[in-house]
Amino acid sequence: MGVPTPYGKEQRLKDLVARDALISNELDQEASKLPYIVLNDRQICDLEMISIGGFSPLEGFMNEKDYTSVVENTRLDDGTLWSIPIYLDVDHALYRENAGQSNETHTIRSGDRIALVEPETNLNLAIITVSDVYPLDKVTEATKVYGKNDLAHPAVSYLFNKTKSHAAGGSLQVIRPVTHKDFAEIRKTPAQTRADFENSQWDKIVAFQTRNPMHRAHLELTLRASDRVDGARIFVHPVVGMTKPGDIDYVTRVNVYRMIMTHYPEGSSYLSLLPLAMRMGGPKEAVLHGIVRRNYGASHLIVGRDHAGPGKDSEGNDFYGPYEAQEYIAKFESELGIKPVFFSMVTYLPKEDRYEEIEKVKEGQETLSISGTELRNRLKTGEEIPSWFSFDNVVKVLREAYA
């Protein structure tokens, strides 16, 4: 199949997202009388990504045919490339009746219309029209999507410890967009980023995926990617949805990203936040990141060493090889609609006061690096963080957060 047009059809975008972010009163009134499901954090992230077009061509949560095809074949049932299943899990195919009228539970059936509710505000976010309800094959999903059935993998742990037994597939009607209390000016939808890129007449845009604070090595890597793609603009697109347990909170990270942006040459970079719930799926996640960044208007995606890797398995081995994600995404480049740009890691050469890609470092050449663990220890103890590693304004943000 060819590369899908971002967002799908124009009419679908109009159907999914309420015009001018206004509440659809008619749908909201209907939802208040419907049975409902209170969404968890991952489901809210997935709903937002579907509704704003970040997960195009998805128009709703996956039905059983799409779920099975993605798990088994890395494609939707119609053959479109898709690497990680996106579904609405439900407990034993049951939901609760709305409006506090009853605590009675009901079995979900095809054709049901169910309100999807935000837990903190109790507001109706969307209505799903159920196409089917199906049991999840968790062992097969863990093995074929994430590589092995090992609870040390955060997505596998989530699958077995938090994901419910069944899933409800169906199309969505959005009542109100998912809203956030912070950083509204840089929470851009795909339509907004594409419009900004078009208005700026940017045709080559290289996206940088990250869930960690950025330091000098990251700046250097993105600048090298820009040079490699004939001066492409740099699209810093960090994940602020669910990431790996134990990651630095997104508020601190966003404040770091804002500081990093001041170190790029003027007019060369663009920052926007991505409400994605990461699965830390390594190779499969790299493909998903490519699809998502294509929808946001990027022409290229940086895929680095151990892209979206979750760390060690229960036996102390890496879940994925250091360049496994690069090798995997390369298989699909012709149909992704976005070109991957491959890097190893960059390291600091103190005698030359510069960074270099590790594969280009000569044997015996002195290098310096600071691990994430060492950085956290230095932040806690107040020990110096050298200027070759990070910028003063970045370190200031991190020290304030750790204080």
Q: Rounded CA gap, 254 and 2, in Å? A: 36
Equal fold, 10-174 vs 184-274+280-402 = no
Whether 112 shows a pLDDT value over 60: the answer reads yes
Whether 78 shows a pLDDT value over 60: the answer reads yes
211 is catalytic: yes
Q: Is 402 helix (H, G, I), strand (E, B) or coil?
A: helix
> Alpha helix locations (H) across 52-168?
64-73, 138-146, 154-161
Tokens 């920052």 locate to 271
Between residues 120 and 96, which one has the greater pLDDT? 120
Give residue 332's pLDDT band: very low, low, confident or very high (50, 70, 90): very high
Write the pLDDT tens digit of every residue in 170-224.
Answer: 999 999 999 999 999 999 999 999 999 999 999 999 999 999 999 999 999 999 9
Quote the pLDDT of residue 389: 97
Whether 367 shows a pLDDT value over 90: the answer reads yes
Write the pLDDT tens digit of every residue in 11-56.
Answer: 344 444 434 345 678 899 999 999 999 999 999 999 999 999 999 9
Beta carbons of 213 and 385 less than 8 angstroms apart: no
CATH annotation of 10-174: 3.10.400.10
Over the range 64-98, which residues count as b (16 or more CB within 10 Å of their CB) and which as e?
bebbbbbbeebebbeebbbbbbbbbbbeebbbbeb
Catalytic residue (choose from 42, 187, 211, 216): 211
Quote the pLDDT of residue 93: 73
Whether 352 shows a pLDDT value over 90: the answer reads yes
Q: What is the phi/psi pair of residue 38, to 5°?
A: -85, 120
Angle between helices 250-261 and 392-402 (to 10 degrees): 170
Amino acid at site 174: V
Write the pLDDT tens digit of every residue in 249-304.
Answer: 999 999 999 999 999 999 999 999 999 999 999 999 999 999 999 999 999 999 99
Catalytic residue (choose from 63, 98, 189, 210): 210
Q: Where do the domains of the chain lie?
A: 10-174, 184-274+280-402
Quote the pLDDT of residue 107: 83
Query: What average pLDDT does the chain have?
Result: 92
Query: What DSSP assignment string belongs to 157-189?
Result: HHHHHTS-SEEEEEEEEESS----SS-GGG---
Quote the pLDDT of residue 2: 43
Write the pLDDT tens digit of every residue in 129-185.
Answer: 999 999 999 999 999 999 999 999 999 999 999 999 999 999 999 999 999 999 999
CA 202 and chain centroid, separation = 23
210 is catalytic: yes
Catalytic residue (choose from 68, 129, 212, 393): 212
Homologous superfamily of the 184-274+280-402 domain (CATH): HUPs (3.40.50.620)
Q: Would you call the peptide bond into 57 cis, given omega within 30 degrees of 0 as the criterion?
A: yes
Write the pLDDT tens digit of every residue in 303-329.
Answer: 999 999 999 999 999 999 999 999 999
Other beta carbons less than 10 A from residue 171's beta carbon: 19
Mean of the pLDDT values across residues 113-123? 94
